Amino acid sequence: MTVKQQLRMAAYRTFYRLPARWKRRIVRTFQPTYTVGAVILVRDPEATRILLLRQPPGAGWNLPAGLMDRGERPVQTAARELAEETGIKVPLDRFRPANPNAVVHTRGQWIDMVFETEVEPSDTFEIDGAEVIEAAWHRLDGLPPLTVSTSQLLAHYGIGPYKDYPEVLTK
């Protein structure tokens, strides 16, 4: 056994003898932390259009989304954010986890919990003017300019400009 292996073994033995509170603090100090949010892929019943938002600074369109509040379940975040950003209220049981449900962004250190739902399209929205400039339905075969992160996320579901680029899914 090398000296490096012996030191590593001693470090682990010491770590496992520490109180749980100290172990948690050490792990949180040295491990990356991730922010968790919920993203909602809202389609019309025929699955030909999706709901997109333009948010400040308005450089592209994206999906309704937001960060989880402490103690909130991801599906609750999805329902809350959709209602806050568009005025569309959907019961929790009408959201289903997308496949994949969690998309991990290691470079930006965030996790998107993605949910899908269908609603009847309407051209009237109760948008939150502080967060949203515009909300609109867009045909899947004619999407407007999307933000890069939205394009990358939609590629996981076979939608958008990056859907035919497998390297996007391995980032």
pLDDT-derived band of residue 170, with 50, 70 and 90 as boundaries?
Answer: low
At residue 75's C-alpha, the angle toward residues 43 and 163, to 5°, is 45
Residue 82 is inside which H or E element, if any? helix 74-86
pLDDT-derived band of residue 117, with 50, 70 and 90 as boundaries?
Answer: very high
Task: Identify the CATH number of the domain defined by range 35-169.
Answer: 3.90.79.10
pTM of this structure:
0.80
Question: Within the chain, which residue ranges are assigned CATH 3.90.79.10?
Answer: 35-169
Q: Residue 47 has which token pair?
A: 């699955």
Three-state SS for 16? helix
> Residue 92 contacts by C-beta under 8 Å, 6 or more apart in sequence?
75, 76, 79
One DSSP character per residue, 68-81 reads: PPTT--HHHHHHHH
Q: What is the mean pLDDT of the segment spanning 36-50?
A: 95
Q: What is the mean pLDDT of the segment spanning 49-77?
A: 93
